[in-house]
Amino acid sequence: MSTENTPATVPLLDHHCHGVTLHNLDDSAFESLITESDWGAPEGTTHFDTQVGFAIRRHCAPVLGLDPFVSAEAYLARRRELGGDEVSRRLLRATGISDYFIEIGHRADEILDPTEMADAAGARAFEVVRLERLAEELVIAGCDAAGFREAYDGVLDERLRSAIGVKSIAAYRIGLDFAPERPSSEEVDEALARWIDTTGDVVRLDDPVIIRHLLWAAVDRACAIQFHIGYGDADVDLHRCDPLLLTEFLRLTRPTGARVMLLHCYPFHREAGYLAQVFPHVYFDVGLAINYTGSRSDEIIAETLELAPFHKILFSSDAFGVAELYYLGALLFRRGLQRALDVFVERDQWPAGECARITELVAWRNARRAYRLDDRLFAVETGLVGAEGP
């Protein structure tokens, strides 16, 4: 085992995040990126008065050469002074993340793509394809209902030559209580005709039959399929994002070779841990709930270490846009995992070697195995597929 096997020093594989922006952000743009709310804080208040805001002032300020807990104003001023590019590089390079799996289906024009992220962070980066966006892009490009299924198969195969996995946002487009079975071709064609006929300037896929078709196309390819679960995005109906609603879909997909990654999961992370125990192809993380709960993240990380096998828990930051979120995701994850292990050592004398082994599993080994990263890296080395990396 390497010497890099304590939570403080282990390299991290961030199996779910988005790109960062290098732009200089004005204050309100920055503030809008440290909340999942779509609106400003009420008059006289600020999104900095949150766990994540406090964590930025506490932990990110020193990376920018400031004292801990400088005011939000001073922090933002220093950020402007250094420039978005420098701030982002400093914070990203301080995360200790060696690999980023980057989902680019959301506001892609505002953030770095995987190649640029690899460069900015000094790390490897891999793409995760958002299924619903892929379908929307086809329709935007003029694909009609008659040609959609074949065209989609083609473009998905093409993207999977380089992408490490796929993601679905079924949670906030249709709710996780969708019918779990594969829809028939006839049903799909009808739904496609209806959708494409009526779609206007803004192409937005929220048809359950079509989304189920996209999911089963991914299942057929034995992909790693990420699902948005729980917290994140103001337009979710959170009670329809409980991962337990996927139970029958998980039963149906168990023998297919597909793996299902449940993302963030808060406040349903105990439910996710149950699914990760019961289904051999289910993995989960509490990404977004780590950076956003700051001084409380230790408890949430500890709660993930209950029913889930240690080989089923993953690390992610689910960061988007600002480098602070990657940095805090990594820092707080390291700390929370260390504290949980410390408690287990105190209570039950877990051996140091076992703590180190579990640390490596959760930090990167589980993701590497579950996403079959070694196969992927071999394909890159042998020129079978393209690569992004430093």
- Name the residues that contact a copy of itself, by CB under 8 A: 35-42, 44-45, 47, 49-51, 54-55, 58-59, 68-69, 231, 234, 237-239, 242, 244-245, 247-248, 254, 266-267, 270-271, 274, 277-281, 289, 292-296, 298-300, 302-303, 305-311, 343-344, 347-351, 354, 358, 361, 369
Q: How far is the CB of 88 from a copy of itself (least distance, A)?
A: 23
Q: Which is nearer to a copy of itself, 89 or 334 (CB)?
A: 334
Q: How far is the CB of 178 from a copy of itself (least distance, A)?
A: 14
Q: How far is the CB of 251 from a copy of itself (least distance, A)?
A: 9
Residue 177's CB: how many other CB atoms inside 10 A?
Answer: 15
Residue 38's CB: how many other CB atoms inside 10 A?
Answer: 9
The closest alpha carbon to 288, from 91, 36, 31, 39, belongs to 36
Q: Which is nearer to a copy of itself, 59 or 212 (CB)?
A: 59
Q: Which is nearer to a copy of itself, 22 or 56 (CB)?
A: 56
DSSP assignment of 74-128 equals HHHHHHHHH-HHHHHHHHHHTS-EEEEEEE--SSGGGS--HHHHHHHHTSEEEEE
Q: How far is the CB of 250 from a copy of itself (least distance, A)?
A: 10
Write out the two tokens for 352.
Answer: 């140091």
Measured CA to CA, the distance from residue 133 to residue 131 in angstroms comes to 5
Q: How far is the CB of 206 from a copy of itself (least distance, A)?
A: 15
Q: Which is nearer to a copy of itself, 118 or 171 (CB)?
A: 171
Element of type H or E holding 289: helix 287-291
Beta strands 165-168 and 224-229: pairing type?
parallel
Q: How far is the CB of 117 from a copy of itself (least distance, A)?
A: 27
Question: What are the counts of helices (DSSP H) followed by strands (DSSP E) for the chain?
Answer: 19, 7
Q: Which is nearer to a copy of itself, 151 or 238 (CB)?
A: 238
Q: Which is nearer to a copy of itself, 347 or 383 (CB)?
A: 347
